[in-house]
Amino acid sequence: MGSHGIGVSRLLGAIIEASHDDKGIIWPEGVTPYHVGIVNLKQGDSSTDSACEALYKELRSSGFDPLYDDRDERAGAKFATMDLIGLPWRITVGPRGLAQNKVELTSRRTGESEELSPQDAVLRLKAIYEPVLAANNR
């Protein structure tokens, strides 16, 4: 590829050109720098902090590379950052959802969200990424 002038930087540019919207990049699952973003809606709250840390550890032990946004920012700023980075999936953890044992799993590509238990969100991501992770382990 290098002899034809197709390097990594050109490939990244082509991916971004083919997969973006007005909010930013939308990384395809096979080439994303992080598989999922975890957004803590109430940084400093013991229940949301521990739930996010547990999700992070569970995802890492399952072979994922999650990005944990633990900044002390408003939710809108965190969502905008995640959209700009373009991670294909986002798990949102907040105190109201956790009171019902729910987190929100959101697709960056479609914007569709579903409320799931933290364990079910991890299982759903495993199912989504199964073909990608299997191909990477060959």
Q: pLDDT digit string (tens) for 5-60? A: 677 778 888 888 888 888 888 999 988 999 999 999 999 999 999 999 999 999 99
CA-based radius of gyration for the chain: 16
Q: Is the pTM of this model over 0.85?
A: yes
Residue spans per domain, the chain: 2-136
CATH number of the domain at 2-136, please?
Answer: 3.40.50.800
Does the pLDDT of residue 2 top 60, yes or no?
no
The whole-angstrom separation of Cα 46 and Cα 53 is 10
The whole-angstrom separation of Cα 74 and Cα 99 is 20
